[in-house]
Amino acid sequence: MMKIFGATSTTDEVLDGINLRGKRVFITGVSAGLGVETARALVAHGADVIGTVRDLDKAHVNTKVVRDAAAQSGGSVEIIHMDLADLASVRKVSDAMAAANQPFDLVVANAGVMATPFEHTKDGFESQFGTNVLGHFVLANRLAPLMRDGARLILLSSNGHRFADVDLDDPNFAHTPYDPWLAYGRSKTGDALLAVAFDARHRHRGVRAASIHPGVILTELVRNMDPADFQAAFTSMNEQHLALGFPPFEVKTVAQGAATTLWAGITADAETIGGKYCEDCHVGEILADDAAVSAFSAGVRPYAIDPVRADALWARAEELVGERF
């Protein structure tokens, strides 16, 4: 009998009874929060995980729980340095993976930045679009030849995609006044669209892709906000959520937040999740253009899963990074 999971399901519940011995997984951003929990749950079930981080010293401390789980289960974890905001770093790591020629069953584009000040990556891209979208675009495509038939790519999007569609004419805010949440929304829409485009290009061999909204979890993603400002914004968003008639909102634990990644990446039927936007361990509802939403409510805007828009982003991303895939 198929198990039904939801918003409060945890990583261990989603993977209950599943043996991942021999499965290889690549995860970006395993030095904190969702990345650590995703890696821990996978190795606890026997998987072999390669995780990337920007700060190896920080990761060594924060991934002890992952190493402990691996020691008990027979799984393994390897932590390597990679900076998504530096495409040379991404290419160096992907070249090393290609040279090792060991296949992957799951790739999780987990790392990201949120609501950063106006900055640029080493390659000159606006930092959120460059890190969240273009860094993962190059990585996923360079790892694609290593993905076994039946493998999956999971990209972390967010319901923050509803702040904005991608702007393919001005991706770096050269002509648009910069707003950190507008930029975040663009980047999370970009991640959702990349899943659509990647899935379309690889499903003929059984490799599927999906984007996921993990829910609202208090992780290091909020590090760029003043704590008082964050609390004021959070309170205001919750009041709006209730005023629209939605049920009381609850922040997720990290184990609940990472559950949708593992549901879409391991547990769910491939045809169910392929090319889709998922949340709360199910495929997200497509919202009408005029649907009222809060910062905490569910659902995906049609522009974030539009295949035509996804192909346009793909072509623009190839132009920007100087590689054709």
Alpha-carbon distance 224 to 121, whole Å?
Answer: 16
DSSP codes of every residue in 303-320: GGG-HHHHHHHHHHHHHH
- The residue from 178, 184, 277, 303 that is catalytic is 184
Contacts of 161 (CB under 8 A, 6+ apart): 185, 188, 189, 191, 192, 300, 301, 304
In angstroms, the Cα distances linking 133 to 66, 112, 127 are 27, 9, 10
In degrees and rounded to multiples of 5, residue 260 shows phi and psi of -70, -35
User: SS3 letters for 222-290?
Assistant: HHHCCHHHHHHHHHHHHHHHHHCCCCCCCCCCHHHHCHHHHHHHHHCCHHHHCCCEEECCEECCECCCC
Known active-site residue 303: no
Rounded CA gap, 225 and 204, in Å?
43
Percentages (nearest 5) of helix, strand, coil residues in the chain: 50, 15, 35
Instruction: Tell me the catalytic residues.
Output: 184
